[in-house]
Amino acid sequence: MPDVFADLVGQDEAVDTLRRAAAAANAVLRGPTSVEEGAAPGDPGAGMTHAWIFTGPPGSGRSVAARAFAAALQCAYGTGCGTCPGCHTTMAGTHADVRLVVPEGLSIGVGEMRALVLRAASTPSGGRWQVVVIEDADRLTEAAGNALLKAVEEPPPRTVFLLCAPSIHPDDISVTIRSRCRVVPLRQPPPDAVAEVLARRDGVAPDVARWAAAAAQGHVGRARRLARDPEARKRRDAVLAVPRRLTGVGAAFDAASALIEAAEAEAEASVAETDAAERAALETALGAGGTGRGAAGAMRGAAGQIKDLERRQKSRATRAQRDALDRALVDLAGFYRDALTMALRAPVAPVHTDTAAIAEAGAQKWHAEGALRRLEAVLECRAAIEANVKPRIAVEAMMLALWKG
Ligand SMILES: [Zn+2]
């Protein structure tokens, strides 16, 4: 039976650290010196501490690592065996002492964080640890960050915070929070390791697994989608057709529109079902009509709740669009990276094996400088959108730069 760390692809060093920490945490719970006497957490000698940050590029498995570590902390054997109830319920997302924060919008608000910190301070019902996993801790609002900082500075004795962020750059995580945390850096897993796990765990045919792992550029979740979802493959094909379609100014604007609209459609499909279900549940909970005393006040309250929901859903849709567009830009960057490495005759495998011939033609025509300029145009577009430039404007500027070279 694979243990809870089995899905962490190509991260031997991080897994080693986490296994040791889980064993140390287990020793704290069983040991003769209790937490109250100051043995740990927070004691560096114990190998365990109360606040962690998992960093790494998207798809490297930050949240997978955090969840696996949470399971190991709740594991009856302190190892993350993968089979005991503690491991099992944590991995299934139903453990009473593990709280998972997955921000749906562009940021995590202070209200959500305060409620979480409050609950995290309670005594663990399972007798082990209260674990709080915060995915995308870089999306904390400043106020939410401050609420979290207070908890991390004065941690309840049995509470462990696991944060996930792209990096420990101050843009991603505040310096004060970072200073209280131990950092577990994850690396971009090598394509071989990704292909191996797709084949072993998901039953993907080895050649498809190798292709998907390379095309996903180290993003495990993306590799799995490419290997298994024909729609995801179709969207990728459309993106990779862009370089061939850039034959003039008009074509560049058309390509920009197509890219934006495809991202919107993909995002809409991904949130539509949840949106409708949430709306129906809220309307049922609020009840319809009502004429008695206080009905007018209740209706005002209901309108407020519906507005709230709509705001949350809009924020989630915006994020889904940005994520979809970013995936497309990463694919496109991979194509120009291939052209660049071919122009340089660098002995590295292409990202997109299926468009290698087109990238080679581009390399002949553009030479290394032209390929590099185009790659930079794609990366600049990503950075501009990250800095809140309107996506359509950024993408149009990119397409023009790709066409002109
Ligand atoms: Zn276990």
35 CA distance to ligand 1 middle (Å) = 22
Residue 326, C-beta contacts closer than 8 angstroms, at least 6 positions apart: 382, 385
151 CA distance to ligand 1 middle (Å) = 27
Q: Quick one: pLDDT band at residue 9, thresholds 50, 70, 90?
A: confident
Mean pLDDT of 126-154: 90
Mean pLDDT of 183-203: 91
Give pLDDT tens digits for 334-359: 999 999 999 999 999 899 999 999 99
| Helix (H) or strand (E) run with residue 330 in it | helix 295-343
Compute the CA torsion angle 249, 252, 253, 255 (nearest 10 deg). Answer: 160
How crowded is residue 357: how many other Cβ atoms within 10 Å of its Cβ? Answer: 10
Distance CA 172, CA 43 (A): 26
- pTM of this prediction exceeds 0.85: no
Of 264, 240, 220, residue with least CA distance to 356: 240
71 CA distance to ligand 1 middle (Å) = 7
Q: What is the pLDDT of residue 255?
A: 95
26 CA distance to ligand 1 middle (Å) = 11
Contact between 4 and 71 under an 8 Å Cβ cutoff? The reply is yes
The residue that leads in pLDDT, 102 or 121, is 121
Contact between 109 and 118 under an 8 Å Cβ cutoff? The reply is no
Q: What is the pLDDT of residue 49?
A: 93
Mean pLDDT of 238-248: 93
DSSP string, 175-196: HHHHHTSEEEE--PPPHHHHHH
- Residue 177 corresponds to which tokens in the numbers above? 């929070």
The residue that leads in pLDDT, 39 or 190, is 190
Mean pLDDT of 193-220: 91
Extended strands (E) in 82-170: 98-101, 130-134, 159-165
Mean pLDDT of 190-211: 92
133 CA distance to ligand 1 middle (Å) = 18
| Helix (H) or strand (E) run with residue 54 in it | strand 51-55
Radius of gyration of the chain (CA): 24
Q: Quick one: pLDDT band at residue 374, thresholds 50, 70, 90?
A: very high
Distance CA 213, CA 51 (A): 32
Give pLDDT tens digits for 250-307: 999 999 999 999 888 888 877 777 788 778 877 777 765 455 555 566 666 777 778 8
Residue 112, C-beta contacts closer than 8 angstroms, at least 6 positions apart: 101, 144
Q: What is the DSSP letter of 351?
A: S
| Residue 339 Cα distances to 27, 163, 191, 264, angstroms | 53, 37, 19, 28
- Residue 305 corresponds to which tokens in the numbers above? 């709740």
User: How remote is the C-alpha of 115 from its chain's centroid?
Assistant: 23
251 CA distance to ligand 1 middle (Å) = 57
Q: Quick one: pLDDT band at residue 100, thresholds 50, 70, 90?
A: confident
| Residue 332 Cα distances to 78, 261, 317, 318, angstroms | 44, 16, 23, 21
160 CA distance to ligand 1 middle (Å) = 18
89 CA distance to ligand 1 middle (Å) = 10
Q: What is the pLDDT of residue 37?
A: 44
Q: What is the pLDDT of residue 47?
A: 83
State the chain's mean pLDDT as an integer. Answer: 87
The per-type count for the chain, helices as H runs and strands as E runs, is: 15, 5
Give bridge partners of residue 140 from the DSSP assignment.
108
Name the range with the highest mean pLDDT among 8-22, 97-111, 213-227. 8-22
Distance CA 329, CA 386 (A): 12
Contact between 134 and 109 under an 8 Å Cβ cutoff? The reply is no
222 CA distance to ligand 1 middle (Å) = 28
Dihedral-angle region of residue 232 (phi above 0 means left; psi in -120 to 50 means alpha; beta otherwise): alpha
Q: What percent of the chain has pLDDT over 90?
A: 54
What are the strands of the beta sheet with 159-165, ordered from one edge?
98-101, 130-134, 159-165, 51-55, 182-185
Give pLDDT tens digits for 59-75: 788 989 999 999 999 99
Q: How many residues does the chain have?
A: 405
- Residue 337 corresponds to which tokens in the numbers above? 């990276």
82 CA distance to ligand 1 middle (Å) = 5
User: How remote is the C-alpha of 47 from its chain's centroid?
Assistant: 27
Of 307, 311, 308, 302, residue with least CA distance to 284: 302
Q: Quick one: pLDDT band at residue 38, thresholds 50, 70, 90?
A: very low
| Residue 190 Cα distances to 60, 103, 213, 226, angstroms | 10, 28, 9, 17
- Classify residue 361 by burial, with Cβ atoms within 10 Å: 0-12, 13-18, 19+: middle
